[in-house]
Structure 1
Amino acid sequence: MTDREPVSGTDDAWRRIGTPENLTTITGVLWLDGAIGYDELCDRLEARLCRFDRFRQRVGGRGRTLRRPYWEPAEPFDVETHVQHVALPAPADTAALQRFVGGLMSRPLDERRPLWEAYLVEGAGADDESAVAFRINHSIGDGFALLYVMLGLVDDPEAMELPMGIVPEPPGADEFRESRADGGAATTDAADADPETDDSGLSLGGGGPNIGLAATALRAGWDLLTQADEPATSLRGELGAAKRAGWTEPVGLETVKTVGRAHDATVNDVLLGALAGAFRRVLAGRDETVPDRLRVTVPVNLRPMAARDGSLGNHFGLAFVPLPVGEPALGDRIRAVRDHMSAERAGVEAFLMYLALTAGGRSPDAVLEWLLRRFENRATGVVTNVPGPTAPVEFAGREITDIMFWVPQAVDQGLGISIFSYDGDVRLGIAADANLLDDPTEFAAAFRAEIDALAEDADPDLASE
């Protein structure tokens, strides 16, 4: 590890665009089948998490106008300063854990130290269960980078099956051979996704533009600059520092695939269509006029997992995707999502946004702020997906029974929706500004109702599975 490494433009943009009202911090929770002690957790994280350099480095040179900041070793480094042991207040139930996670989302990380924290949470399950919460600043890496980190945390990385092709071994793990997952599911990388068969995530595919895509790039660039403002709803408004967290019960991935087959649609289409229905249900339940569409930003991965390495980083762009919330029919919402945006168009739009963020991250604050203002009031929320292991994995000898993460929102958006698939199930995480959605279970219930309705429409025997 060199003493100093320049922070990339994109990584620095994600570090700097955070505000007290919208922190750019990714939050996650692992549930373990078995209790784990504080000392054992610290030892595990020091040995496995901290072999990724970013977790031992801090950002130096912050606030310099004309010179780029850099990653530098945080010395002295003590993993225990990053790991806290906490207990949920009585009653230690799901609601208490949701309040705890929401509280984590509301607090900034200390930029004088490496930009991560972990919490051993007592009371988050039965006596023989544990929960470990993580907070990681987005400047360290995107969702796929953090999936790569997870590969380094589990007991047997070679046995961790992912719905994408070749995954490099984590740093410092020479004993592990290169891991290859089942070939049954397509990659979610924009560079090599097959939109006809992709059923593993919400990345919309389409590689970076080339000369043959020049016309598409010009149209996408013009549309990015001229697209209409987002309709006014109660899910948009002034943001505050307080955040709320929630999640759904797991939904069987096979159920989602069955719905997709009934509508000649991918899992991506079904999930986005169900989200459109959930937005519709929430707004109708608040006695609001439902607009024809709401727009969300969807991260599109621009670097295949095979090209990932220990430097982690952010290698994605954002596509603006309209959700047909005004469409009254269940199936028509899915078909509208399916027919709207091609993989090529999504990839080009995301690549343009990636270039814009890279340029902004290498520019003074005033330029970055000007750039961000160009995209204010363009979306109601962000929807992201990272496909997780297809079979159970273990952490420190304990099976990980469930995984959830919450994406930070961007600029003026107050709603973040994260989808993670694990061991045959899909679960939705909802991160919300308390001013706009004080109880995320409202949205979670709406999404579940939409999935149940779609499942019953496709096959009555699937409802509520």
Structure 2
Amino acid sequence: MSLNEEPASPTARLMQAPSFNLCILALLGYSTMIDVNLFKKCLEQTLLKHPRSSSLFVVNDKDRGKWSWRRTRVDLENHVFVPDLDPDMQNPDGFVEDFTAGLSRIPLDYAKPLWEVHILNVKTSDANSVVIFKIHHSLGDGVSMISLVLACAKKLSDPESLPVMPSKKPKQKQKSSGVVGLVKRLFVSIWIIFLVVFNTLIDVALFLATILFLKDSKTPIKGGGKVDRAPKRFVHRVISLDDVKLVKNAMNVSINDVVLGVTEAGLSRYLNTTYEKRRENGAEVVMKKTRALPRNLRFRSAVIFNLRPTPSIQDLAEMMEKEELNGMWGNLVALVLLPLTIAVQDDPLRHVRRAKATMDRKKLSLETNIVFIVLKLLIKLFGIKTAAVVVGAVFQNTTMAISNVVGPPEEINLFGHPLCYIAPTVNGFPQALVVHYQTYANKLIICLAADENLIPNPHQLCDDLQQSLQNIKETVMKRGLVKGFPVCGTV
């Protein structure tokens, strides 16, 4: 291997497997029309200095098929595309959706670095222009990508400063003094260790069963074989992050708990409506008049967890300046299987409480770490094809995937233009539905990648997710759980 080559990581090689060939499609909405020359100049000063953005993915057949990244010179004209569009077109939102869907069906050219940019100077309902980044997932995971984006950005309020990512506040532990306190801490530590071991054994056993035989119930959104090659639609919805924070503070849960609860509630609404329509058309047996959902559905989501701490924006900016990775890049992800209860609830808050209980339990499990270690061993001992078959079995036997990426808490200027929203999604995923949640400033962007055949109305699913959040918000307000809002009756 030459000096300008770097070996590809095991996960990057896995994401190049034919049955698991993933591409990130990131829609960036801007407040202004795009000045193409300025945009290209900013790309040259930032993104092109990143080693992955200027490297070819190479398979060296003479070296037993080892894969590597080889540095090369980048010609922006081969990566940045600006179609000539009618600014007064009748349905710009539909055009952007159709353009994105068409883009997902065109493979990337391996004769050049695996990314490209499409600038659409057309006004939509959420922005005055849209830029679509298509990037092969082997270049990096979600945390790496959002960190890279922010390293290329500046604060809108302070054009000379890099954005600052929110940091978790360390929890203050109350220490008990004396013998009683020592015994109490010892008991708690032993109990936590027991729970971690117990939960890990259960989770690993269920994960193994999922690979071998344990399948989710068949539902209208459960994909079958070759679903990764099925045509997809990519839609998004921009909602208020303040509504999510209101529920979070009122119920004393995390934003992830609220998002997972909203997902469960929205999917329950969507599937209940779908089963009702089937029943009305005579395709289903007669059920209860009010609720058409089958009972006891096994419905699980594969959740993508990042195992790497979020890189510092300053470190990434320095990395691009030096054009060295320094171990801060790549795909360091693992899977966790989360069960969802698909049922119409009289109390919408039950979805959030159940989500919190599920997430709290998963935090006391080493499932993510063990899955990651086993996956690396599979690749090393048996090769990419075997690992791809195993991972594919997990996705084929579950129903959907969920991912949540935290963005900057304030508005930014990205590649020379003020940014409205970030809507990332993925193509080539071996499931019929992938839901991404992306925060940006005071917004939460819901992004769906949906199989056109199984989910012909993804906008309805967006409506159901948004309405579910609204129902949960109204319930906590009516019950007086939000400070400053009186109780306005019962629910």
Selected match of 1:267 from 255, 265, 288: 255
Label 1:242 to 1:108 Cα distance change in 2 as closer, same or farther (>3 A): same
CA deviation profile, 1:365-400 (whole Å, cap 9, x unmatched): 442243235424332111111111101111244211
Whether the 8 Å CA contact 1:296–1:381 is kept in 2: the answer is yes
**Is 1:436 aligned to 2:441, yes or no?**
no
Residue 400 of structure 2 corresponds to 381
State the alpha-carbon separation in 2 of the partners of residues 346 and 57 from structure 1.
39
Distance of aligned partners of 1:373 and 1:149 in 2 relative to their CA distance in 1, 3 Å threshold: closer
Matches of 1:346 and 1:273, distance apart in 2: 19
The 5 Å alignment of 1:318-333 reads 318-326=335-343, 328=345, 329-333=347-351
One-letter amino acid of the counterpart of residue 11, structure 1? A
The letter for the 2-side match of 1:351 is N
Q: CA deviation at 1:237?
A: 2.7
1:420–1:366 CA distance, 2 compared to 1 (3 A): closer
Q: Give the whole-Å Cα distance in 2 for the aligned partners of 1:343 and 1:111.
A: 43
Counterpart check, 1:392 vs 2:411: yes
Shift of 1:155: 3.3
Deviation readout 1:175-207 (Å, 9 max, x if unpaired):
xxxxxxxxxx55xxxxx999xxxxxxxxxxxxx
Check if 1:234 corresponds to 2:237: no
* Matched residue, 1:176: none
- Structure 1: where are the runs of 5+ without partners? 165-184, 187-191, 195-209
Deviation at residue 406 of structure 1 after TM alignment: 0.9
Matched, 1:54 2:49: no
Q: Paired residue for 1:281, among 269, 286, 289? A: 269
Q: Which residue of 2 aligns with 1:69?
A: 67
1:370 to 381, 389, 411: 389
Q: How big is the shift at 1:436?
A: 1.5
Q: Residue 155 of structure 1 aligns to a residue in which SS?
A: strand
The 5 A counterparts of 1:35-434 are 35-61=33-59, 66-74=64-72, 76-87=73-84, 90-125=89-124, 129-155=128-154, 158-164=161-167, 185=168, 216-227=199-210, 228-238=214-224, 239=227, 240-250=229-239, 252-287=240-275, 289-292=293-296, 293-306=298-311, 310=325, 312-326=329-343, 328=345, 329-342=347-360, 345=363, 348-362=366-380, 363-408=382-427, 410-411=429-430, 413-434=431-452
**Alignment RMSD:** 3.0
Is the Cα contact below 8 Å between 1:13 and 1:357 reproduced in 2?
A: no
**Which residue type is aligned with residue 267 of structure 1?**
I
> Relative to structure 1, is the Cα distance of residues 102 and 346 closer, same or farther in structure 2, using a 3 angstrom cutoff?
farther
Partner SS for 2:450:
strand
SS of the equivalent of 1:15 reads coil
- With over 3 angstroms needed to count, the CA separation of the structure-2 counterparts of 1:431 and 1:50, relative to structure 1, is same
Q: How many residues align structurally?
A: 416
SS in 1 for 2:15: helix
AA of the residue aligned to 2:293? T
Q: Tell whether the 8 Å contact from 1:294 to 1:322 is kept in structure 2 after alignment.
A: yes
Compute the displacement of 1:65 (Å). Answer: 8.8
Distance in 1, matches of 2:43 and 2:136, equals 17
Contact 2:154 2:163 in 1 (8 A): no
367-376 vs 7-16, which moves further: 367-376
CA drift of 1:414 comes to 1.3
Name the SS of the counterpart of 1:285 in structure 2: helix
Cα shift at 1:79? 1.7
Partner SS state of residue 342, structure 1: helix
Contact 1:225–1:374 under 8 Å retained in 2: no
* Whole-angstrom distance in 2 between the partners of 1:291 and 1:70: 49
The Cα shift of 1:317 comes to 0.9
1:352 is displaced (CA, Å) by 2.2
Distance 2:195 2:66 in 1: 34
Moved more, 115-124 or 35-44: 35-44
Whole-angstrom CA distance in 1 between matches of 2:378 and 2:111: 23
User: Comparing both chains, which one has the higher relative contact order based on Cα–Cα distances under 8 Å and sequence gaps of 6 or more?
Assistant: 2
1:8 and 2:5 equivalent? no
User: Deviation of residue 63 (structure 1)?
Assistant: 6.5
2:113 and 2:71 mapped to 1: Cα distance? Answer: 9
Deviation at 1:104, TM superposition (A): 2.1
What SS does structure 1 have at the residue aligned with 2:49?
coil
Pairwise CA distance, 1:151: 2.0
Letter in 2 for 1:253: L
Equivalent residue in structure 2 for 1:459, among 474, 477, 487: 477
SS at match of 1:258: helix
Letter in 1 for 2:338: V
Quick one: distance in 1 between partners of 2:59 and 2:396? 32
Cα–Cα, structure 1 residues 56 and 346, in superposed 2: closer, same or farther, change >3 Å?
farther
For 2:37, give the aligned amino acid: D
- Provide closer, same or farther for how the CA distance between residues 280 and 140 of structure 1 changes in structure 2, counting only shifts above 3 A: same
Contact kept, 8 Å, 1:391 with 1:422, in 2: the verdict is: yes
Structure in which a larger fraction of residues adopt helix: 2
2:258 and 2:28 mapped to 1: Cα distance? 26
Contact 1:27 1:406 in 2 (8 A): yes
Q: 1:454 to 1:214 in 2, by over 3 A?
A: closer
Identical amino acids, percent of aligned pairs: 22
Amino acid at match of 1:289: L
- Residue 350 of structure 1: how far off its partner (Å): 1.6
TM-score by length of 1: 0.81
Partner in structure 2 of residue 181 of structure 1: none
Q: Is the 8 A contact 1:324 1:337 kept in 2?
A: no
